[in-house]
Structure 1
Amino acid sequence: MAQKCRFCAGLTISHLIELAKEEFTGHTFPDNAYYQHHACFADLEQSAEDGCGLCQLILDCFKGAEREDYEWPRTWAGAEADNDWSMYSAAKEMDMSDVKIAIDASQTFGADPLELVSVFDTILVQVGMSQDAPADPDDEDVWSDRFPTLRLTLSRPACGELRIDGFQVGRVQVDQGVASQYSRDTARAWLEECRSSHPDCLSNGLPELPTRVVDVGTGSNPQTPRVLYTNRGLRANYIALSHCWGGGIAHPLTTKSLEQFRTALPYDDLPASFRDAISISRELGIRYLWIDSLCIIQDSKEDWENESMTMAAVYGNSTLTISAIAASGSNVGILVPGPPPPIPTPSSLRVYPGADALEEVRVERQDLEEENLSLLFMRGPLSVRGWTLQESILSPRHLFYGVRQIYWKCPSHYRSADGTCARFNAPQTSYDNISRVLYAERFRHQISNDLADRESLLLEYYDLVEEYSNRNLTFASDKLPAFSGLAHRLHSLLGGEYLAGLWSSDVKRGLLWFTDRRFCRHVKDYRSPSWSWAATDDAILFNARVASYLPSSAEMKLSDYRVVPRSGGELFGEIESGYLVVEGLMLRLFRSMQVHGALVGDDSDAGNVFWDAPDRGDVPDDSGYKNIIQVTDGTSAYLLSLSLPLPRREAELQIDRTAISEDLYFLFLVHADDNDTQDDSVSSAKCIVIRPVANGIENTFERVGRATIFELSSGWRAPWENRVLTLL
């Protein structure tokens, strides 16, 4: 056992947990209930020199913690001038530098109470005043004494649990990585528990196999993998792979390789991720594996179109989906080597007091950028690809492979191999309502179809589209096909017809997408109508949860629509054309390239507009956001879009008529809520901006933006014209 000073010898996990029961707030050092360690930082340094392993670890961590690693006070002498300034250097300069220790849980959010803790896996070390102690921001002396809290990680071996008063102590050590025996055993245990014990995950029967699967044999009887054509209606457990291609795939399924692959795949030449997926399938005892580039004929447009329409079933019916969530390409592999050994050398801490209580946990420096499932969902390579969003949501069970460890997701649980996947470390966007109804057919879920449920599904649908719009596609033409599996499964639940990403039952809200502060240029090659969010590759927003869309006398009416699929395919995939026939109020909007810094009175400040694309006179670094003002010219008044950037000054607004575009633009009112008024006024009007199409077809328009008019007073309808028109 390593030597310990008297302060470290008297420190135990059980005592820290007792202190946490007196005072605990997630990620906050306690004001009173802490363990008093050395009286000053110099004593800690001397103890480390004398051979105390835990003091040495703390000291090494202070030396290695640069100021960019933590939130530093505003007024530390030397901190701005010295780029090598570390926590060690700062601690040595402090007048009051006593050392205090408390326990914390990494999976909690800041300010979480003790009741939300499941695993105590963090030691907090505080020097001098607590980082979170009350302080007067104007008192420079107080700010100069505030010190960041050092975080250390507690971990234990995988064999057996360690609990104190219901709390798990320490995360499980996953030093050997995702290819270890522990990871293999854990994956099997998770799957078995889910299939046999989770009430929300009990299946109604074996799933139907996709058109083709890779037959990998079984764990006890492996064989050379081959592509197997399945008979319609054949049912068996199978695994699907979700991965980033990362460029071209070596040895894909083609019309030339089809017959050869039915006999044997060139296993040794397959991408590393494919070979690893085969190994994982065998380990889990599941014979069949679906991999896109080996189960869809890559040089057959017809086969690709047919199979892309089955993605909802392929991923939705899979027994499990293997997600290579950390791999940037198929050649990277899934079963990557384990992480490097921790630096500096870890120490240990006793769990219980007493001479005979020798049980200890490992203590090491906490990596502030440490991998967890939440970060992988936000930043991982798989999480920026367009196709993988529907794969993630459609699949009921996921086995995620990071670099550090494996993770699990099913309708019942999130889990991680180290046991900390909860709250802060779990993904925050789960689309619970959509997931619940998607899995209802597969599992024994009870769902209702009332209007409240439909509204919650619609709100999550718009959240999904927003997330999808932030993802990348290798082929722009995949914009609708890569979302088709989700749309297909949601069709019967949301009601109405699917119109190139919109729903006829909620078309008003669907039309009002926009981009925040940036343009969302429409793609040049036809992919969807101008009114669909699929018309742009830029990120878009709906603000669907903010606006009210109650029935109103001032709203657009949809009278006819048509969407024509490409090559006779389904409406959820690529489309050839589409239109909406709508009736509503429209008003001329003038578009100016003028930029003016004048203050505009409340009477003139009429609204704002987000243009989809720049006009010919826009400067390159300009944005799509413009103000709409009401201009009075003699006896007439009109609405004008122009830039009024902040800050503004007291000045008369002079309209530059030469900056006004010659193109015709109109506001088309989509919805205005008039239910809370006794007169003809409304609170605001939500509009799209339209212009006549270039081919000159009468009464036919295209969408070019989204606008809001702030307030429409009594008699506002007079200048607006009621029209029936076609939107292309």
Structure 2
Amino acid sequence: MVLDGPEPPPTTLGGPAPGGSPTIPIKPQSVSIDDQRKFCESCGSLLRRGPRDIGSGFRCYQKTLETLLEAADSGCVLCQSVAYEIRTHRFEKGELFPSPRTSLSIDEAMNNESTNYTFHAATHLNKPCYDLNIYLTRRSAPILQLRLVPLHGILTGLSYNDSTGSDTCWKQVLQWYNQCLEKHENCGGSQARSLWYPSRVLDVGNEEDQIVKLKITGESDMQGPYLTLSHRWGDNTVYKLTEPKLENFKTGIHVADLPRTFTQAIEVTRRLQIRYLWIDSLCIIQDSVHDWQIESVQMETVYANAHLNIAATAADNSQEGLFRPRNKGKFWPTEVVIMVKGASRQYLAYDPDVANSQLEAMPLNRRAWVLQERLLSPRVLHFAETQLFWECHGGESCEMFPRSIPPGEWPNTNHKSLDPRAFLERAKRLRWPMDKVLSNSIYPYRIWADTVSRYTRCGITKSEDKLVAISGIAKYISHLIDDEYLAGIWRSTIPKALLWYISTYHPAKEVPPFRPTPYRAPSWSWASVEGQIHNTSWMYSSYIDPNPYSTSCVQIHEAMITPLVEGDVYGQVTSGFLRLSGTLLSGFGIVLVPNDTYKNYRVACSEKEKAELSSDILVGLDVPSTSAELDMTCLLVALGDEHEHCLLLRLRSDKGLNVYERAGTVTFARKARVFQERESVADFRERLGWRIARAEIILV
């Protein structure tokens, strides 16, 4: 089997960068790959037959798991990938490896993102393609998915070596790096971002040096750019700067004493001929609250002014390092020949989920702090488990696709999402209603909504850092808009931005949403809850429905937060409140749905009344409750053509008169719109004991 590959990348830092656009059809020179990159007879026969001869529905892929493993051991690249995914998925779920006699089925289907019809013509980004989905059982989700696209015009990387720290990988890094410096105007070119430096950096010296030194930048003659390192700390034994160690660190730290991730980051910095490296645990005094308060305020500036961010993406802790052995179980882009309409056609088979499974799902990107480190840095070099990834404002690449990852295969919330030009270009490509909802005044709010949703999927070690760890992005957004920041919510988007809701799906191994103690945000802020947030702003859904909440029903009289550090409104807060007027529905009772795994609630009413409205009311609590019945108050926030969108409130009489806290959301739809003044609706409210009144309240 013969594949097409790229020309060899430059071997020196100053070598020539490749020219041309990745979208221009390229026919690179052909290179042979080793004997292990092949298909077994079963897989080869499947592809040779083509979709026309296979027909619809499930077909036998391998007769048993035993034959699959034999084919994988013999070097079949497809069977190797399936076997790897079976082992990974089963072990992650705590399940036993399936019986060797378990049968496997395959379903080949033309792909359309909104359908799942077998072998119906469809497109991916306006181009024909096939999706190959392999299932462990017919009732399971695909255990492996491959996308087959016409080979013409796609440049892949075929160098498949044993380690992500090999010379071949380093040549690829230099190719990306040089091209970015020489070709990408939006990335700032070869010039340093500014003459700004963090308070402290590591001076890594030269390759032969055995020590690195901590430099106080205000006391030193600084020249040249600096790099940053994003990493997971792991346990508290990470090598770190403390008050007693400060002078010793300035004298010199033996590189051999540092954890592997740090030593390899120093190696990368030296090979890029950069003198300075910033590592949080070595450049911030970890036992000084005062130093932390000073340094945390400037996180945005630290990463935004860095030359490049080194990301230890696959490492769970600082001991695991950047470089790792190549996992041969992962499917590498492979040229295949399939029969289409009676003719042999060349296609490229690749994993369409490469960016999600090999980058987004990695340990580092599950850490909340890393999101702003990644978004604010001008360039990011990811050392992932299987391959290297590159992100900059000029594009995204990986070793599988060194010129550019195929369009549409990169997550929507990506490294370039803070760039207004990139955002607007993506909006046009996806055909959002530009004239109604896209403008220079709206896109920052959409970016913020996307970012918060992504951010709240990540874990954070110190609960009190919830607002601090996203403060850099908030500050960046503040430069684009004239707005007031209130504990994670922008003033101009209130009250509609109060209608965020929490994910209700909680797998057994996940911790259900909860409000942490001590206090970290007012209840009306998403930052008050630990859990994934959705619909964090009304703009978030306005691309589907340009006017989802047509009328705001709340008048805000006063909004205020008290920051922990005076003047730092983007960091920790000690209190906050909203003083508002609106329509309240009191006496609203909800009951726990019997035998419901996810502890959902419904309206407390008789069976007759339940038949009238329950299917039209969606109740969502911020924090699951075990109480059989809860008495709530509803605040009508927004009124649309089809829905009444409300907050669920809980009275806090201990905090004063008419003081409430948020407990969740409720949506009344269609015939269940209970705030209407029609006689039949008023009668229904009376039967349920619901009372409506307009009032001024305090929301804390």
| Same-fold status (TM-score > 0.5) | yes
Question: Could you list the runs of 5+ residues in structure 1 that have no partner in the other structure?
Answer: 3-12, 15-26, 35-40, 42-53, 71-80, 92-100, 125-129, 133-142, 155-162, 351-360, 441-449, 619-658, 674-681
Supply the distance in 1 between the matched residues of 2:353 and 2:146 (Cα, whole angstroms). Answer: 16
> Does 2:413 align with 1:429?
yes
Supply the distance in 2 between the matched residues of 1:432 and 1:505 (Cα, whole angstroms). Answer: 25
Aligned equivalent of 1:195, options 181, 200, 209: 181
Supply the distance in 2 between the matched residues of 1:698 and 1:306 (Cα, whole angstroms). Answer: 38
Shift of 1:131: 10
CA contact (8 A) 1:438 1:489 kept: no
CA contact (8 A) 1:701 1:725 kept: yes
Query: What is residue 492 of structure 1 aligned with on the other side?
Result: 479
Supply the distance in 1 between the matched residues of 2:356 and 2:164 (Cα, whole angstroms). Answer: 18
Supply the distance in 2 between the matched residues of 1:195 and 1:604 (Cα, whole angstroms). Answer: 59
Shift of 1:475: 1.0
Change in 2 beyond 3 A, CA 1:549/1:581: farther
Change in 2 beyond 3 A, CA 1:564/1:85: closer
- AA in 2 matched with 1:579: F
Q: For 1:176-191, list aligned pairs within 5 A.
A: 176-191=162-177
Instruction: Encode CA deviations 1:254-308: one digit per residue, 9 max, x unaligned.
Output: 1111111111123211111000000000011111111000111100111111111
Q: For 1:120-159, list aligned pairs within 5 A.
A: none
Instruction: Encode CA deviations 1:11-51: one digit per residue, 9 max, x unaligned.
Output: xx99xxxxxxxxxxxx99844699xxxxxx9xxxxxxxxxx
Query: What is residue 385 of structure 2 aligned with on the other side?
Result: 403
Residue correspondences, number: 559
Change in 2 beyond 3 A, CA 1:489/1:28: farther
Query: What is residue 577 of structure 2 aligned with on the other side?
Result: 579
Q: For 1:358-369, list aligned pairs within 5 A.
A: none
CA contact (8 A) 1:501 1:532 kept: yes
> Does 2:458 align with 1:465?
no
**SS of match in other structure, 2:202:** strand
- AA in 2 matched with 1:709: F
Change in 2 beyond 3 A, CA 1:28/1:195: farther
Change in 2 beyond 3 A, CA 1:114/1:171: farther
> Does 2:313 align with 1:325?
yes
Change in 2 beyond 3 A, CA 1:612/1:603: closer
Shift of 1:176: 3.1
CA contact (8 A) 1:249 1:330 kept: no
Query: What is residue 158 of structure 1 aligned with on the other side?
Result: none
> Does 2:250 align with 1:240?
no
Change in 2 beyond 3 A, CA 1:724/1:323: same
CA contact (8 A) 2:372 2:469 kept: yes
Shift of 1:417: 2.2
Aligned equivalent of 1:672, options 639, 662, 665: 639
CA contact (8 A) 1:249 1:271 kept: no
- AA in 1 matched with 2:634: L
Instruction: Encode CA deviations 1:378-437: one digit per residue, 9 max, x unaligned.
Output: 310011111111111111211111233211111111111233632465434327552337
Instruction: Encode CA deviations 1:50-89: one digit per residue, 9 max, x unaligned.
Output: xxxx99968897699669869xxxxxxxxxx9742567xx
Query: What is residue 380 of structure 1 aligned with on the other side?
Result: 362
Query: What is residue 617 of structure 1 aligned with on the other side?
Result: 627
CA contact (8 A) 1:609 1:707 kept: yes
CA contact (8 A) 2:649 2:663 kept: yes
**SS of match in other structure, 1:414:** strand
Instruction: Encode CA deviations 1:119-149: one digit per residue, 9 max, x unaligned.
Output: x9x999xxxxx999xxxxxxxxxx9xxxx99
**SS of match in other structure, 1:407:** strand
Supply the distance in 1 between the matched residues of 2:317 and 2:157 (Cα, whole angstroms). Answer: 30
Supply the distance in 2 between the matched residues of 1:707 and 1:191 (Cα, whole angstroms). Answer: 50
Aligned equivalent of 1:698, options 657, 662, 672: 657
Q: For 1:601-640, list aligned pairs within 5 A.
A: 601-602=611-612, 607-615=617-625, 617-618=627-628
> Does 2:535 align with 1:542?
yes
Query: What is residue 560 of structure 1 aligned with on the other side?
Result: 558
> Does 2:685 align with 1:726?
no
CA contact (8 A) 1:480 1:534 kept: yes
Aligned equivalent of 2:497, options 510, 513, 537: 510
Supply the distance in 2 between the matched residues of 1:349 and 1:684 (Cα, whole angstroms). Answer: 51
> Does 2:220 align with 1:226?
no
Query: What is residue 397 of structure 2 aligned with on the other side?
Result: 415
Change in 2 beyond 3 A, CA 1:388/1:582: same
CA contact (8 A) 2:260 2:319 kept: yes
CA contact (8 A) 2:210 2:256 kept: no
Identity of aligned residues (%): 27
**SS of match in other structure, 2:419:** helix
Supply the distance in 1 between the matched residues of 2:513 and 2:330 (Cα, whole angstroms). Answer: 46
**SS of match in other structure, 2:442:** helix
CA contact (8 A) 2:84 2:330 kept: no
CA contact (8 A) 1:184 1:283 kept: no
Change in 2 beyond 3 A, CA 1:227/1:431: closer
> Does 2:255 align with 1:267?
yes
CA contact (8 A) 2:204 2:266 kept: yes
Change in 2 beyond 3 A, CA 1:376/1:694: farther
**SS of match in other structure, 1:453:** coil
Query: What is residue 279 of structure 1 aligned with on the other side?
Result: 267
Question: Could you list the runs of 5+ residues in structure 2 that have no partner in the other structure?
Answer: 3-29, 32-46, 55-60, 62-70, 88-97, 338-345, 425-436, 506-511, 595-605, 683-690
Question: Which is further off, 545-554 or 518-527?
Answer: 545-554
CA contact (8 A) 1:196 1:202 kept: no
Shift of 1:193: 1.1
Query: What is residue 522 of structure 2 aligned with on the other side?
Result: 529
Query: What is residue 433 of structure 2 aligned with on the other side?
Result: none
CA contact (8 A) 2:368 2:455 kept: yes
Shift of 1:506: 0.4
CA contact (8 A) 1:213 1:295 kept: yes
Change in 2 beyond 3 A, CA 1:218/1:269: closer
Instruction: Encode CA deviations 1:623-646: one digit per residue, 9 max, x unaligned.
Output: xxxxxxxxxxxxxxxxxxxxxxxx
Question: Which is further off, 591-600 or 465-474?
Answer: 591-600
Supply the distance in 1 between the matched residues of 2:335 and 2:637 (Cα, whole angstroms). Answer: 65
Query: What is residue 508 of structure 2 aligned with on the other side?
Result: none
- AA in 1 matched with 2:475: H
- AA in 2 matched with 1:292: D
Supply the distance in 1 between the matched residues of 2:144 and 2:253 (Cα, whole angstroms). Answer: 55
Change in 2 beyond 3 A, CA 1:55/1:114: farther
Query: What is residue 101 of structure 2 aligned with on the other side?
Result: 84
**SS of match in other structure, 1:695:** helix
- AA in 2 matched with 1:294: L
**SS of match in other structure, 2:229:** strand
Change in 2 beyond 3 A, CA 1:469/1:604: closer
Shift of 1:688: 0.9
Change in 2 beyond 3 A, CA 1:176/1:550: closer
Change in 2 beyond 3 A, CA 1:594/1:338: closer
Q: For 1:5-24, list aligned pairs within 5 A.
A: none
Shift of 1:720: 3.1
Query: What is residue 22 of structure 2 aligned with on the other side?
Result: none
Query: What is residue 172 of structure 1 aligned with on the other side?
Result: 158
Supply the distance in 2 between the matched residues of 1:338 and 1:55 (Cα, whole angstroms). Answer: 17
Supply the distance in 1 between the matched residues of 2:573 and 2:72 (Cα, whole angstroms). Answer: 67
Change in 2 beyond 3 A, CA 1:550/1:65: closer
- AA in 2 matched with 1:400: H
- AA in 2 matched with 1:427: P
Instruction: Encode CA deviations 1:169-198: one digit per residue, 9 max, x unaligned.
Output: x63223132211111222122112101112
Supply the distance in 1 between the matched residues of 2:438 and 2:125 (Cα, whole angstroms). Answer: 38
Change in 2 beyond 3 A, CA 1:583/1:550: farther
CA contact (8 A) 1:244 1:330 kept: yes
